[in-house]
């Protein structure tokens, strides 16, 4: 299960070193995401440690890194603001239970139904949300924002902007952080660029005693082992009604992002992870994290890419990353308090730039208009609501577009054979989107007394298709015509209620396929 592969020294070394690299890069991101969620940095660090460790041990994708993420943080912030951090902990527990249930019921396979335009909209929306979440760091807390008195008052962009030297200093340090992260890998990859940028900016702030906010100004970090803690909330039905919507959204977002990351790692490593096992691993990790004061988490696309590109392939890479992170929490927590907020903002802006699919602008005029619409729609819904709703909306719209397009593919050709029978040859899928066109192509009053409908080049896909055949058979019977249905599958014959006895059986030529119908359940 652990897949340490200790007999292979190179693999062991690669997993260990890549785990160290990931742990170094996890510290600033975990702290930054904690600020996004409105909780203390240690809550984010505990989540990164516990979620990362547990998913590395029992998850379904060796080499994938999990921890506190921005996708979840932007949903958590309203819960924390309205009800406090204790409600967040119990919500994370319920979120984990829901994820375990998803794995047990094998819902992980449905990630295959997410089309590529939805995935592009998903990551673009995520990048925009993370960017907007950083704007609050450029303002003064407790002051009316620049949109005060308008319909945008109180929104995430309604910020009381810093003025003068304070804003100039913050912008300069953020820009410096981003420059270091971007250019350092072109010179050397011996140290993670995000860590190097934070060290340089922190050194400048401390060395020149620059007047800018640091992590310690916002929250004090006391590094220690996470303690078991039952959330201090009333265990009532009212509490359940408060946390359930958040838990469902967080569970859905966590699984969607984790399974999308799993699919990406599968493609890069040319291996296959186990989606349902990953659902259970994520669920166990979040359930435990909620009882130990963590904010919960899911798979991290950026950190997983760092791990894979650094040579991490086995479970040891994720386990070592989590243990190194714990070591940093226990030993280096006083140093974390000296990190300037500008450095964390710069790291998050680089995450935004790396997450956003800039190729969307290039391809949006080349792909079908329906795909472009879905991409923009999912991005917009992500910003307006949340990632889970956006992906569901995207999948539904994609399915409707697919159904509309394929409804036009059905074709019916009529001819008269040597026996004087009217023969209809059906080509294309018969399903809910095409049944109207299907029924309009037949004329029972004008046809000959003997009618043959050939389904050799067609496939009945759902119950709507079966109902259409039954309706057509009833029309011909009322018209006093003899109807013969040929080349239908055995399952179609069983499910037809009115036309079943009109089907002519040909064991050799009749096709075999299944029909989506509730009566089979």
Q: Is the pLDDT of residue 7 over 50?
A: no
pLDDT for 287: 96
424 pLDDT above the threshold of 90? yes
316 in Cβ contact with 7 (< 8 Å)? no
Tens digits of residue pLDDT in 345-372? 888 888 788 778 888 888 888 888 888 8
pLDDT category at 142 given cuts 50, 70, 90 is low
In tens, the pLDDT along 101-140 reads: 999 988 877 776 778 788 788 778 878 877 887 887 887 7
| Closest listed residue to residue 76, CA positions, set 60, 92, 61 | 92
Whole-Å CA distances, 40 to 72, 95, 116, 251, 382: 15, 20, 36, 22, 25
204 phi/psi in degrees, rounded to 5: -65, -45
276, pLDDT greater than 50: yes
Q: How confident is the model at residue 520 (pLDDT cuts 50, 70, 90)?
A: very low
| Contact criterion met (CB below 8 Å) for 340 and 201 | yes
The CA–CA distances, whole Å, from 119 to 72, 211, 382, 434, 438 equal 17, 42, 12, 28, 34
CATH number for the 408-520 domain, one of 3.90.226.10, 3.40.50.300, 3.30.750.24, 3.40.50.11030? 3.30.750.24
Mean pLDDT of 455-479: 90
Q: What angle do CA 17, 338, 290 make, to 5 degrees?
A: 65
Structure tokens at 157: 């962009």
* CB neighbours of residue 396 within 10 Å: 11
Average pLDDT on 427-454 reads: 90
Most confident of 326-340, 372-386, 452-466: 452-466
Instruction: Name the phi and psi angles at 420, rounded to 5.
Output: 85, 15
User: Tokens 């089309």 appear where?
Assistant: 115
CB 255 within 8 A of CB 100: no
Each residue's pLDDT tens digit, 61-83: 998 999 998 778 888 988 999 99
Query: How far is CA 227 from each of CA 31, 89, 246, 289, 504, rounded to the nearest angstrom?
Result: 19, 13, 24, 10, 71
Residue 4's pLDDT is 42
Could you tell me if 34 and 43 are in contact, meaning their C-beta atoms sit under 8 angstroms apart? Answer: yes
pLDDT digits (tens, 9 = 90+) for 37-58: 888 888 999 999 999 999 999 9
Reduce the secondary structure of 205-239 to three states and give it as a string: HHHCCCCCCEHHHHCCCCCCCCCCCCCCCCCCHHH
pLDDT, residue 13, reads: 78
Domain ranges, ordered by start, for the chain: 9-212+223-379, 408-520
On whether the CB atoms of residues 374 and 401 are closer than 8 A, the answer is yes
- Percentage of the chain beyond pLDDT 90 is 32
- pLDDT on residue 174: 93
Please provide the average confidence, as pLDDT, over all residues in the chain.
84
- Say which range, 149-153, 279-283, 396-400, 496-500, has the weakest mean pLDDT: 149-153
């Amino acid at each position: 299960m652990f897949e340490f592969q200790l007999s292979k020294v190179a693999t062991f070394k690669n997993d260990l070193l890549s785990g160290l690299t990931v742990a170094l890069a996890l510290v600033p991101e975990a702290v930054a995401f904690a600020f996004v969620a409105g909780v203390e940095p240690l809550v984010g660090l505990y989540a990164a440690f516990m979620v990362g460790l547990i998913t590395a041990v029992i998850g379904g994708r060796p080499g994938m890194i999990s921890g506190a993420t921005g996708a979840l943080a932007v949903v958590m912030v309203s819960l924390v603001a309205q009800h406090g951090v204790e409600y967040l902990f119990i919500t994370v527990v319920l979120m984990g239970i829901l994820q375990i249930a998803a794995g047990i019921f094998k819902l992980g396979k449905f990630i295959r139904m997410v089309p590529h335009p939805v995935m592009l909209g998903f990551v673009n929306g995520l990048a925009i949300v993370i960017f907007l979440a950083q704007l609050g760091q450029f303002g003064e807390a407790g002051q009316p924002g620049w949109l005060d008195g308008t319909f945008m008052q109180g929104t995430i962009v309604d910020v009381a902007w810093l003025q003068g030297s304070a804003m100039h200093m913050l912008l300069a340090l953020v820009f410096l952080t981003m420059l270091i992260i971007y250019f350092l890998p072109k010179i050397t990859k011996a140290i993670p660029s995000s860590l190097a940028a934070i060290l340089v900016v922190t050194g400048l702030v401390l060395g020149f005693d620059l007047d800018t906010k640091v992590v310690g100004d916002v929250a004090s970090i006391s590094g220690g082992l996470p303690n078991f803690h039952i959330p201090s909330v009333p265990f009532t039905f009212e509490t359940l009604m408060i946390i359930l919507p958040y838990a469902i959204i967080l569970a859905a977002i966590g699984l969607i992002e984790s399974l999308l990351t799993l699919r990406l790692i599968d493609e890069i490593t040319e291996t296959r992870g186990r989606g349902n096992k990953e659902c259970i691993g994520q669920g166990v990790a979040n359930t435990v994290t909620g009882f130990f004061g963590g904010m919960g988490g899911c798979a991290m696309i950026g950190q997983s890419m760092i791990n894979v590109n650094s040579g991490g392939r086995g479970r040891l890479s994720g386990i070592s990353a989590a243990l190194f992170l714990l070591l940093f929490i226990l030993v280096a927590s006083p140093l974390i308090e000296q990190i300037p907020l500008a450095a964390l903002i710069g790291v998050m802006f680089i995450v935004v730039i790396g997450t956003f699919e800039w190729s969307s602008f290039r391809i949006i005029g080349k792909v079908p208009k329906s795909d472009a619409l879905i991409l923009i729609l999912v991005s917009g819904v992500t910003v307006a609501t949340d990632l889970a709703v956006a992906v569901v909306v995207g999948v539904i719209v994609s399915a409707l577009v697919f159904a509309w397009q394929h409804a036009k593919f059905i074709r019916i050709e009529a001819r008269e054979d040597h026996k004087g029978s009217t023969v209809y040859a059906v080509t294309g899928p018969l399903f809910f989107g095409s049944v109207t066109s299907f029924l309009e192509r037949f004329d029972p009053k004008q046809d000959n007394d003997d009618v043959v409908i050939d389904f050799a080049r067609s496939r009945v896909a759902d119950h709507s298709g079966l109902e259409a055949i039954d309706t057509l058979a009833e029309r011909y019977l009322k018209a006093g015509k003899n109807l013969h249905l040929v080349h239908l599958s055995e399952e179609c014959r069983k499910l037809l209620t009115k036309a079943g006895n009109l089907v002519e059986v040909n064991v050799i030529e009749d096709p075999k396929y299944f029909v989506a119908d509730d009566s089979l359940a």
